[in-house]
Amino acid sequence: MRKYINATIYGNPESREILVENGRFKAIGNDLGNAGEVVDLGGRLVLPPYVDPHLHLDYIFSGLGEGNANVSGTLFEGIRRWSENKKSLTEEIVRERAIKGIQKELSHGVQFIRTHVDITDPNLTGMKALIKLREELKDIVTLQLVAFPQEGFFRYKGAEQLMEKALEMGADVAGGIPHFEISYEHGVESLRRIVDLAIKYKVMIDIHCDENDDPNSRFLEVLNALVLEKDYGSYTTASHTCSFGSVENSYANKMLGLFRESQINFISCPTENAHLQGRGDTYPKRRGLTRVKELLENGNHVAFAQDSIADYWYPLGNGNMMNILDNGIHLAHYTHIDEMNKAFDLITYHGAHIMRVSDKYGIEAGKPANFIVLDAQDAYEAIRERAEVLASIRNGEYLFKREPRKNELAIEFLQQS
C-alpha 398/C-alpha 394 separation (Å) is: 6
Distance separating alpha carbons of residues 290 and 334, to the nearest angstrom: 13
Judged by CB, which is closer to Fe ion: 9, or 269? 269
Q: How far is the CB of 140 from Fe ion (least distance, A)?
A: 23
**Contacts with Fe ion, 179-218, as mask; x by CB under 5 A:** ----------------------------------------
- Minimum Å distance from CB 146 to Fe ion? 9
Q: Burial of 312 by CB count in 10 Å (0-12 exposed, 13-18 middle, 19+ buried)?
A: buried
Is 66 in the active site? no
Strands 24-29 and 265-268: unpaired
Handedness of CA 193, 199, 203, 207 (dihedral sign): positive
When the beta carbons of 237 and 370 are compared against Fe ion, the nearer one is: 237
The one catalytic residue in 211, 221, 272, 294 is: 211
289: closest CA among 232, 346, 350, 354? 346
What is the footprint of Fe ion within residues 244-303 (CB under 5 A)?
A: none
The minimum distance between CB 207 and Fe ion, in angstroms, equals 10
Q: Which of 282, 329, 373 is nearest to 39 (CA)?
A: 373
Cβ atoms < 10 Å from Cβ of 391: 20
**Cβ 96 vs Cβ 60: under 8 Å:** no
β partners of residue 353? none
Nearest CB to Fe ion, comparing residues 55 and 383: 55
Dihedral of the alpha carbons of 228, 230, 231, 234, in degrees to the nearest 10? -80
Distance CA 206, CA 416 (A): 57
Task: Output the smallest distance, CB 233 to Fe ion, in A.
Answer: 21
What is the smallest separation between the CB atom of 25 and Fe ion, expressed in angstroms?
A: 33
Q: Are 240 and 208 in contact (CB under 8 A)?
A: yes
Interactions with Fe ion, residue window 298-337 (CB under 5 A): 307
Sign of dihedral through CA atoms 68, 69, 71, 73?
positive
Helices (H) and strands (E) counted in the chain, each on its own, are 14, 17
Q: Which is nearer to Fe ion, 117 or 387 (CB)?
A: 117
Smallest gap from residue 343 Cβ to Fe ion (A) = 22
Distance separating alpha carbons of residues 55 and 193, to the nearest angstrom: 23
| Rounded distance between C-alpha atoms, residue 197 and residue 219, angstroms | 18
Residue 173 C-beta: closest distance to Fe ion, Å: 12
What is the total count of residues that contact Fe ion (CB under 5 A)? 1
Distance in Å, CB of 35 to Fe ion, minimum: 43
| Residue 309 to residue 307: CA distance in whole angstroms | 7
The residue among 146 and 379 lying less far from Fe ion, judged by its C-beta, is 146
Q: Specify the residue, 48 or 187, whose C-beta has the smaller distance to Fe ion.
A: 187
| Angstrom distances, CA of residue 259 to CA of 193, 223, 237, 301, 375 | 21, 10, 11, 10, 37
Taking the C-alpha atoms of residue 105 and residue 314, their distance in angstroms, rounded to an integer, is 16
* CA pair distance 350, 371, nearest whole angstrom: 15
With CB atoms as reference, the residue minimizing the distance to Fe ion is: 307
For Fe ion, what does the binding mask look like between residues 211 and 240, x meaning CB under 5 A? Answer: ------------------------------
Please say which residue, 278 or 317, places its beta carbon nearer to Fe ion: 317
Our CB check for Fe ion shows the closer of 278 and 368 to be 278
Contacts with Fe ion, residue ranges (CB under 5 A): 307
Catalytic annotation, residues:
211
